[in-house]
Amino acid sequence: MARRRTFEELVAQGAAEPVEGWDFSWFEGRATEERPGWGYPGLLAERLSEARVVLDIQTGGGEVFAGALRACAASGSPARGLAMPRTIVATESWPPNLVLARRALAPWGGAVVQAADAGGLPLRSGRFDLVVSRHPTVVVWPEISRVLAPGGRYLSQQVGAGSNRELTDFMMGRRPVNQSRSPERAVAAARGAGLEVTDLREQTLRLEFFDVGAVVYFLRKVPWTVPGFTVAGYAEPIARMHAHICEQGSFVSTAPRFLIEARQPAR
């Protein structure tokens, strides 16, 4: 029988694991996260098969984008009228992720450009017939509209308002929910930028953590859940979290997600 890890060992493991990229395989057996029913990777692969010039905004380590490109390449055939995009571009702001993304997209000749999340896109106007983004930290709708070609589409899965509120409140105390990430505001902003919203879907997902090390790693990897999180600065709530999981068997949190698709009107 495997030896049960101590509180100190669990925290140390969560604190030591690298946080670059969006590979969450470390959580296997330590935490689970429900996935949205619409299946963003599959939708992305389908849209890629219909596009020629593609941009992925805030690609992280490029893992999700590269996975969809692989699926697109595997399923496409001239007989079905499907093909790979001829131009593949991604943006990312964090230097460690730039290295990972360039490596992930290299098999398709993808270019990865450094760009601030909340700033302008250093790309030509009207160039892309497909722009995508999974879990962007900020959505600059006027820039999305600017780089989309006439008739081009934007597909994005986004984090909704109050994501992981239970975890935030446990660590920081009760906090008001910021509605800036609500689907309604996203729709209004897209329309304000001149886009036509063609699809909107919402779902609240369940996250379950089975040890405190997984919580520590999650808070380091998804830092907006508890802004300014450090192990030393949150020693007391980390200890309380360990006690809660030991008593209850897990800690459960919820995460609203929404899918939005919009179109640039043909001019």
How confident is the model at residue 2, as a pLDDT?
A: 47
Inside any domain, residue 165: yes
How confident is the model at residue 81, as a pLDDT?
A: 45
Position 244, amino acid = H
How confident is the model at residue 78, as a pLDDT?
A: 44
Inside any domain, residue 246: yes
**Cα angle for residues 118, 84, 120 (degrees, 5° grid):** 15
How confident is the model at residue 3, as a pLDDT?
A: 58
Indicate the DSSP class of residue 188.
Answer: H
Indicate the DSSP class of residue 264.
Answer: P
Query: What CATH number corresponds to the domain at position 90?
Result: 3.40.50.150
Averaged pLDDT score across all residues of the chain:
94
Inside any domain, residue 106: yes
Inside any domain, residue 2: no
Inside any domain, residue 230: yes
For residue 163, count CB atoms less than 10 angstroms from its CB and return exposed for 0-12, middle for 13-18, buried for 19 or more. buried
> For residue 110, what are its two tokens?
């993808």
How confident is the model at residue 79, as a pLDDT?
A: 38
Q: Which of 248, 221, 217 is nearest to 11 (CA)?
A: 217
Inside any domain, residue 219: yes
Question: What average pLDDT does this structure show over 165-179?
Answer: 94
pLDDT confidence band for 83 (50 / 70 / 90): confident
Kindly give the pairing relationship between strand 148-159 and strand 128-134.
parallel
Report the C-alpha gap between 93 and 115 in whole angstroms: 5
Residue 256 CB: number of other CB atoms within 10 A?
20
How confident is the model at residue 146, as a pLDDT?
A: 98
> For residue 253, what are its two tokens?
């949190």
Residues spanned by the domain of 144: 7-263
Indicate the DSSP class of residue 179.
Answer: G
Taking a C-beta distance cutoff of 8 angstroms, is the pair 259, 199 a contact?
A: yes
State the total domains in the chain: 1
In this predicted model, what pLDDT tens digit does every residue of 104-137 receive, in sequence order? 999 999 999 999 999 999 999 999 999 999 999 9
Inside any domain, residue 1: no
Question: What average pLDDT does this structure show over 163-187?
Answer: 95
